[in-house]
Amino acid sequence: MTKKPIPCMATETGNMLKPWRAGIDTYQEPVVYMRRECPICRSEGFTTQARVQLTAGNRSIVATLSVVDSAWLAENVAGLSESAWQALAPQAGQLVAVTHAPPLDSLSHVRAKVYGHSLGDSEYGAVISDIAAGRYSDLQIAAFITACAGDRMKLEETVSLTKAMIAVGDRIDWGRSVVVDKHCVGGLPGNRTTLIAVPIVAACGLTMPKTSSRAITSPAGTVDTMEVLAPVDLDVARMRRVVERTGGCIVWGGAVRLSPADDILIRVERPLDLDSEGQLVASVLSKKAAAGSTHVLIDVPVGATAKVRTTQAAASLAFRLRNVGSAIGLQVSLRVTDGEQPVGRGIGPALEARDVLAVLKGLPEAPADLRERSLRVAADILEMGGATLVGDGLGLANDVLSDGRAWAKFQEICAEQGGMRIPPTARFTRTIEALASGRITRVDNRLLARTAKLAGAPTAPGAGIDVHVRLGDRVDVGQALFTLHAEAPGELEYALEFVRSRPPIFQISESA
Amino acid sequence: MTKKPIPCMATETGNMLKPWRAGIDTYQEPVVYMRRECPICRSEGFTTQARVQLTAGNRSIVATLSVVDSAWLAENVAGLSESAWQALAPQAGQLVAVTHAPPLDSLSHVRAKVYGHSLGDSEYGAVISDIAAGRYSDLQIAAFITACAGDRMKLEETVSLTKAMIAVGDRIDWGRSVVVDKHCVGGLPGNRTTLIAVPIVAACGLTMPKTSSRAITSPAGTVDTMEVLAPVDLDVARMRRVVERTGGCIVWGGAVRLSPADDILIRVERPLDLDSEGQLVASVLSKKAAAGSTHVLIDVPVGATAKVRTTQAAASLAFRLRNVGSAIGLQVSLRVTDGEQPVGRGIGPALEARDVLAVLKGLPEAPADLRERSLRVAADILEMGGATLVGDGLGLANDVLSDGRAWAKFQEICAEQGGMRIPPTARFTRTIEALASGRITRVDNRLLARTAKLAGAPTAPGAGIDVHVRLGDRVDVGQALFTLHAEAPGELEYALEFVRSRPPIFQISESA
C-alpha cells in the first residue's frame, strides 16, 4: 500500500480564525468559544472540553474549547475569554491558528501519584513545567492537587516539587549575604504581624523583601490587607527599587511572578478549599528561595480550630520545612504560637489594616495581642539575621516600635510602593449579641473565618468581622459579641443566615 | 444594640433576570453568564466561579457563574449554558431568581477523604446526594474522584458509596426471580461480546436487560458501538417494553437515568482519564442493582497493557466485586480472560459493529476470537441463570449462534429499540506498515486505544483502527499492520503524528 497525501493538513493555512474578545471572566483558565458549525470544529472534529492550541504570531497558548450553537458568536471568529485574550495578546489584524493541543505526557505522572506511587525530580519537573506553561486544564490541576494533598508526599517528594517550582520562575539576587523573610502558616484570623514586623526589621538595617500571597482559604491574606493601605502589584524592578531605598517591602508574589506555577496551583486550591502539607511547604519555600531570601522565620499558630491543630501536626510541618529548606539552601527557623483565638479585633482586609495602623501609631485602642505577637516575630528575625545578640531582639524591637521609627518606616515603604491609601469601610453592618450571660470559653476560628468570607472578604476589602470579646471575658445577655461588615446587602444576609444556622462561634459557659 | 432591618433583602423580588439561551456547550456543567454591571452581581457581590442558585417557578439548580464584560450579553439577562437551560427549563415569560447557593456542608467529607480518613454510609450518602442534585462544581467532583482513586477506599467504603449511588436513582423491578446481566471491566479494545451474548441469552429464554455506559477512557463503550446499529437513548418505560417483548436490550444507562450520580462522576472522570477500583465497583454494581439484576457475570481481561494488568490486581478487584455485590444482594460471578491483545479486528464504534455483525451472521470473515469469547460469556450466563446445567452452556450457546437464532433475536431487539441502522464509514484512512520483517511479539493496547481516540473515536463513530495482524503472526517489511480511520482530516493527521512520535504499537521481533 502506498502512502497517499493527507487530503487536508491541519496546518496554519487551513485553521485561521479572527480573534474576538468575548470579555468572559473564566477565573484565569483560558477558554476559547467557537461555533459548532465553524470550519475548524468540523474539519478537526473538535468538541466541547477539547484542549486546543491557539497561536498568534509567535505566541502560543493552550485553551479549553466551549462549542457555541448561537448566533451571538460569528462563525469565522475565535471568541477568547479574558484570560485567553491577555495571554495570547493578538496584534491588530493578526489571525489565530487553532490546532490540537500536543498530548500531555506528564499527566501519566499525575495518574501515578493518584495511584499512590512516589514521584521524583524529573516527574515533578515535567508536571510543574507543563502547569506553569498553561498546558493543564483546571480539572487536571485539581486532580494533581488532590493527589498530593493530606500526607501523601514524602519528604523527598516535597524537595522535588519545591525545586521544580523554583526552576520555572525567576530568582532575585540581592547581592547580600543575609536576606531575611518570614511566613505565617495561617489559619488564625487577624494575625497580621507582617505589616508591623517588616518596618521594625527594616528600620534596624536588615533587608526584608517580603512577598506574600493573597488569601487561599482565609478571609484575608497579608497582601489583601496591605493592598487597602498601598499598591502591592509591583513587578520585580519596582520591588527592587523599593527594597533598595527602604530595606523592606510587602508586595504580591503573584505580580512579581516569582513562582508562576504556585500562582496557578493556588487559583485551583482556592475553590477546593484544600490545603496540603507538602504543597504548602513547596509553595512557601519556593517563593522564599525565588525572592532571594537566606533566613526564613516561620510562625506556626497552633489551636483546636486553627489550620494546625496539634503540636504533633506542628512538629511534622516543622520537620518538613526545616529539611526541605536545608535541601534548597535556606535556613529555616520556626516559632510555634498560640492559635486558640483571633489576633486583634478585625477580620478582613480593611478591618485588619485598621488594627495594624493602631499598633504602628501607638494608639491607645491598639490590640495588645497583635502588638505583642508582632514584637516577638520581629525579635526572632532581628536575632536570626544578626542585627542583635540572641536575647536582645525583643528590647530592640520594642524601642523601634515605641519611638515611632517603625511607623515612619512603614509610611516610607507605602510611599515607595506607590502611595499610602485610606482603607475602605463597609456600608452594611449587623451586630450579633450574646444569647446568654457567662464567660467566653471557646472560639471557633473556622466558623469565624467562613462567616467573614460569606460576608465578602477578601474580595470585598471592607467586608469581614469586628470581634468585640476575647477568651475569658464575662458577657451579659444582649452584649455585642461581633459585628458583621459587608459591602453588599445580599452578602450581609448570607453571612447572617449562616451564623443563625450554625453552632455558636463563641461558646459561653454560663456556670463560669 | 437594637436589630436594624436589613437594607435590601436577597429575596426573589430583587433578584430576577430574564433567562437567555446562550447556546454554550459546557459539557453538562451548568454555567450562568451575567454582566459584571448587572444589579444582582453588584448587590450580591457575585464574582466569577461563584456558585449560585437559579430558580424558575418551582425548579431550582445550582450553576457556576462566569462574569461578562462585553455588550454581547445584555445587562438584564441571565445567559444560560445549554446544560443550565435544559435543567432549569424556564417557561416562556418566566423570570429567573439568582441567589447565593446554600453552603455545601458535604464538602467537609470530601476534605476528610482527601486527608486520608475513611467515610461511612451517611457521609457518602450526603456527598452523592449533593452530586446527584447538581450542587458540586466540576472542580469539586474532580477532587472527590481523585481522593477516592487508586486503592484509597476500604471495602466498607465501597459498599457505602454503592448504596448511596443506588439510593439517588430509580430501581427497576422486573417481577422475576432471575434477571441476568454482565459487565466487562474493559481496557481491551474491540471486546464487544455483549452485543453477541445478549441475543444468545435472550433467545434461550432468560431476561437480560443490559444497560451500559459510554466509553470513559476507551475508544468505544458497548453503547457507543450499539448506537451505530440501533437507538440506545431509551427511557425506562421504552426499555421495559423492549425487554418484555424480546427478553433483552442493550441501552444507554445514562438515558434510563438509573444512576444519575454515576453519570455525573463519569463526565468528570473522562477528561481526567482516571480509573479507581472503588469507584469502578460502585459504578458497575449500583447500575446493576438499579437495573433490577439478580445475577451478574463480570469479565475481567488481564494483560500487561490491559486495564487490569496482573492476576493479583484481578483478584483484588474480584474480591471487592463479590463482597460489595453480596452486601447489596447481588450474586456476582467472575471470569478472568486473556487481555494481551485486541479482540476482533475493529477498534471504534462502527468498526467494532462490523465485526459483531459478521459473528452474528456467521460470515466467513468473522473474527474467531470475538466469536469464541462471546460464546464463553453467553455460556457462563446461561449456566449462572439456570437456563442449562453447568457444563452444558457452551454447547447451547454455540447452537443458538450457529443456527441463526441469535442473529434473529439481535434484529428483533434492534427493531424494538427503534430500528436497525447501517454503521457509518470514515472518509479518511491511512495504513501503517511494518518497518521490519519478523514475528509480532507484543501489542501495546494502551497506545492502540489512545491512537484510536486521537483519530476521533468514539465521538466520531466511524473513526478508529482496523488491525490486520495478531500476536504471533509473521510479517514482512511494508506489510500492513493497521489502518487508521477518521471522519476529519485533522484527526487523521493528529493520530498519525502520535503514532510516528511514539514507540511502535506492534513489536516485531526480527530474530523470531
Q: Which residue is closest to B463 within chain A, CA to CA?
A: A45
CA distance A354 to A368: 14
Domain range summary for chain A, segments of one domain joined by +: 16-100, 107-167, 180-256+269-417, 428-509
| Interface touch B67/A25, C-beta < 8 Å | yes
- Given a cut of 50, is residue B8 above it in pLDDT? no
Q: Which of A37-46, B230-239, B450-459 has the highest mean pLDDT?
A: B230-239
**Mean pLDDT of all residues in A334-360:** 93
* Residues in chain A closer than 8 A to B114 (CB atoms): 146, 149-150, 274
Give pLDDT tens digits for B314-363.
998 999 999 999 999 999 999 998 888 889 999 999 999 999 999 999 99
Residue among B300, B388, B383, B310 nearest B337 (CA): B300
CATH 3.40.50.300 fits B16-100, yes or no: no
Topology, domain A180-256+269-417 = Pyrimidine Nucleoside Phosphorylase; Chain A, domain 2 (3.40.1030)
What's the pLDDT at A11? 41
A299 as an active site residue: the answer is no
CB-CB neighbors (< 8 A) of A310 in chain B: none
Q: Which residues of A touch B480 (CB under 8 A)?
A: 1
Q: Is B180-259+273-417 in CATH node 3.30.70.2740?
A: no
Contacts of B105 (CB under 8 A, 6+ apart): B126
pLDDT at B367 over 80: yes
Contact of B64 with B32, CB cutoff 8 Å? yes
Q: Which of B10, B48, B138 sits opposite A489 (nearest CB)?
A: B10
Q: How far is CA B123 from CA A142, A290, A338, B136, B285, in A?
A: 21, 42, 32, 15, 19
pLDDT of residue B187: 64
Shortest CA gap B263–chain A (Å): 17
Cell numbers at residue B103, please? 453552603
The pLDDT tens digits of the residues spanning B152-184 come to: 899 999 999 999 999 998 889 999 999 999 998
Best A6, A21, A106, A264 residue to mutate vs chain B (most B CBs within 10 Å): A6
Categorize the per-residue pLDDT at B217 as very low, low, confident or very high, splitting at 50, 70 and 90: confident
- CA-wise closest residue to A39 among A60, A18, A20, A21: A18
Residue B174 parent element (H or E) = none
Band of residue A203 on the pLDDT scale cut at 50, 70, 90 = very high
Q: Do the domains B180-259+273-417 and B16-100 match in fold?
A: no
User: B253 or A79: whose pLDDT is higher?
Assistant: A79
Which entry of B263, B275, B355, B380 is annotated as an active-site residue? B275
Q: Is the pLDDT of residue A4 over 80?
A: no
B15 contact residues in A (CB cutoff 8 A): 490
Smallest Cα distance from B2 to chain A, Å? 9
Query: Which is it for strands A438-443 and A474-475: parallel, antiparallel or unpaired?
Result: antiparallel
Indicate the class that CATH gives domain B107-167: mainly alpha
> What 8-state DSSP symbol labels residue A2?
P
Among B7, B147, B491, the residue with its CB nearest the CB of A146 is B147
Nearest-CA neighbor of A342 among A436, A464, A234, A508?
A464
Interchain contact, B498 vs A103, CB within 8 Å: yes
Pick from A278-287, A384-393, B244-253: least confident: A278-287
Q: Taking Cα atoms as reference points, which of A170, A175, A173, A215 lies closest to residue A192?
A: A215
DSSP, collapsed to helix, strand or coil, labels residue A182 as strand
Instruction: State the pLDDT at residue B511.
Output: 63
Whether residue B196 is predicted with pLDDT greater than 60 in this model: the reply is yes
What confidence score (pLDDT) does residue B477 get?
94
Position B423 scores a pLDDT of: 95
**Is the CB of residue A25 less than 8 Å from the CB of residue B36?**
yes
Q: What is the pTM of this model?
A: 0.77
- A188 contacts: CB under 8 Å, gap ≥ 6: A301, A303, A306, A307, A339, A342, A343, A445
Q: Residue B11: its pLDDT value, please?
A: 41
CATH topology of domain A428-509: Aldehyde Oxidoreductase; domain 3 (3.90.1170)
ipTM exceeds 0.85: no
Report the residue from A23, A139, A456 with minimal CB separation from B271: A139
Please name the residues in contact with A2: beta carbons below 8 A apart, sequence gap of 6 or more. none
Q: What is the pLDDT of residue A14?
A: 60
Residue B103: DSSP 8-state: P
Residues of chain B positioned with their CB less than 8 A from the CB of A36: 25
